Structure 1
Amino acid sequence: MASKMITLNVGGTIYTTSIETLTCYTDSMLGTMFKAQHEDSGTRLDQSNKDELGRFVIDRDGLMFRFVLNFLRESSLTLPEDFKELGLLRREAEFYQIKPLIKAVGKLVDEAVDMIEPLTHIGERIYTKMASKMITLNVGGTIYTTSIETLTCYPDSMLGTMFKAQHEDSGTRLEPSNKDEHGRFVIDLDGPMFRFVLNFLRESCLTPRASEPCLTLPEDFKELGLLRREAEFYQIKPLIKAVGKLVDEAVDMIEPLTHIGERIYTKMASKMITLNVGGTIYTTSIENLTHYHDSRLAKMFKDPSNTDAQGNFVIDRDGPTFRFVLNFLREPCLILPKDFKELDLLNQEAGFYGITLLMEKCQELIYQRSLLASTPLGVNFDSSSTVVLTSMQAANHPGSFTMAVENEFIKLDVGGSLYTTSRSTLTHYPKSMLGKMFSGRHSTACDERGRYIIDGDGPIFRYVLNFLRRSKLNLPEGFKEWDLLTMEADFYQIYELITAIALLREERKRCKIQETEFIELGFCSGEKCFYSGSAVTLKEIPALHEFTKRKTFIYSGYNTSFGKVLFESAGFDNDLMLIFQQIASVGFEMVNTNATRAWVFKRKL
């Protein structure tokens, strides 16, 4: 505790720690860097390395620094289960030159620890970079801090052109109107995706020009399509090429910078606005929000007066899903992560905002999904259709929306997660705990920031709040926290939600059974073997299919699609391992076996 405390701004993410922690490994870059803070050293960091609030700036990945800092605190590496970003953590460990951390990560990725670049060499590059002017960006509502050197790493890119103008006398100089109220430069693009763009630029600055910079993404990264679009917009040719390799396609012709530049600077001139969507903050242009003039969203911003205490325009809808709505408005194509689980919710939100083209695209994807699942369209699609109809009816009665806009907005702190919603939403079910709490008949305490504190599960409250907003339960595919959600619904005494959870859970169980295929294979009496399952699946297992064709066999209760095949067992043992391999290759896994040498396999459809 006696150690001097220090606040860091790592790529826009704020941390507070001690000098003792940062200098734990004296031969690391951080050890060298902050030892200089209280010693008379030629490498002393001057005030230019601080932001406007006096925090020391490090131009690296902010989210990943959490694990670096925890390692420095404990001298042991603790990561979440199923951690997906070992590659990026390794790169950060190498940048900070923390040898024990490099070794610990190396063990996890099961590879030899590479030769660490000498600290004197990388140190020169780091301190050269430290001398570069730092700048804070607001990318679609997400905050980043980086250097001018990083942003202008590729001078012919959009970012290179844009920020070169910051310290040169150029006709394309960015005006102060491109800044938000805190002086941060605004870029009206996807905020979370910019993290990977910025990390690529940082690596490029530290990579010799003769080498290709490293694109490091999480394992099982789901948004290559969106990253590709962002790289094309920023006109970073090496990044376009790197992403192109991953998606196994030829690099498309890049639109000339002069052309896309006109669009960028025209867009920059548009009035920017900050939104508070259910507690999630976004920054975009009025031009984007009013792109579809007849949508309800466009009508909201004809008179954007419904603001919170910070001046953000409030929309009482699902915050995380609005990211995909906003990206669609920025560029009229729908790009979603692989295995996107919330199509029904996105369809509902598109219906609320009255964006007809987005609704059509969502419904097309929902229909395609139902065909791939080989099951009838279920409750979610029918309910989504109802919601779309309801939203279109509401669009014809704008007065109903005006009443909602004029309603009092309330900020909640639920177990540390922040939400913004309306009093009418919270009192939608008057007999519930929330209905009674916010009815106005009882005094309810809030903290010094005006937030009402509820000691419940923060992330799960998102689904509770969405149910209150539309009286419809929509959960991601593969949702696993049924018991917790039921417990929270019981805590809030929303009995309609408890009923909805039970019904949807039962519906999902029925669908899950329909979406699973079983086959059985084994020996039976009288020197016979059997296969029980789909005739179509049998053809997917060539060794088994060929074996049954060339031996005497009998159909037992078999039709054109499903049944049981009996055949002679002579020679079957010789082909058994090959048959097992082919069964596994088409997605089956063994779920049961017994002493009579029979095996049951299943796969998801």
Structure 2
Amino acid sequence: MADEHEVSRQDNYVGLNVGGKIFKTSRSTLLCIPGSFFSSLLEGSVPSAKDDQGNFLIDQDGKIFRHVLNFLRYGKLVLPEGFGEYSLLECQADFFQLEKLSEYIERHVSMMSVGLMFPDGKIFYTTKDILLKEEKSFFTKMLSGEAVVPRDFQGIYILKRGDSKVFHHIINYLEKGVIFDPLNENELDSLEKEAKHFGLHLFADHLKSVRFMISRRRDEGLHIHFYYCVNSPCVVYKTLHGGYDRDLTYYGSCADKPDKTRNLLHNRSTVYKGMESGVVDMEIINSTKPASLGDVMSYLEEKGGPNRIPSKPKQSHLSQGCIRLEVLPNPNINFYPRQYHKT
């Protein structure tokens, strides 16, 4: 009986000769992901050869394969510190038909630190995810290899030009999706040039909104640029309307508690004297489901009232999934919120 048990236990193990390296693992480990190369191999539905010891011969890199096998064992990607052969690992994920491993690799790579060295020697570290926030930018081309950018021995990208003094503003914008940092005139000038150089077209439009609000900050009426975005936070740039910050305040429908207020912008920052930016609390616009563009339009019209906004908000399509709405004030009537009073 003991011999039979030993034979059964050995039968449950499979030998793999991957690029000359021998691996022993259980059938259950190799079959843990249905529909993979290993399922076909062990079912005999793909041609296979064996070495003299009966190990399946697989023409792949054995050094990389150990990470594939560990993924099958532990259900997660476990890599040593300093690992850099993601391209090879991705090739094996494709070869072994392990889609879940490919997803883990993509997620792991997106969180990796990326170093950028400016001409003055200053180095910024950020993540691939952040640099890929804007499509078709210099950074997306750099990371995909479409734009050839030299790297030093540590893998840091060496940029031929760029202003390191304002680059932290760009990183903060890409991370948050809105210009939050206070700016002075010189920084604004430099950022406009940097946005053009790095091909950050949406960032350039946000800068235009900042410029516009600065030019209108002394007007009587309230100016609003509302960025409605599907895959990123919705944000607003607005004038401060003579110092008042109540112009986008939501007054609850509870008539006997008119003092219960909630501002449409749950994160706010004064970017320049007389204007501010903020991230929109979309639940105020629609508390039951994700607010649509129509919901936003209705909200802005309702807040202004038919006599306060001269026309419907103007729409500008900036990119797929991102639209800028411009709310212009009626020059003859101030824009104040409607308050609910007890009747």
- More strand by percentage: 2
Please classify the TM superposition score into its range, dividing by the shorter chain length.
0.3 to 0.5
Higher relative contact order (CA 8 A, sep 6+): 2
TM-score for both structures, normalised by structure 1: 0.19
- More helix by percentage: 1
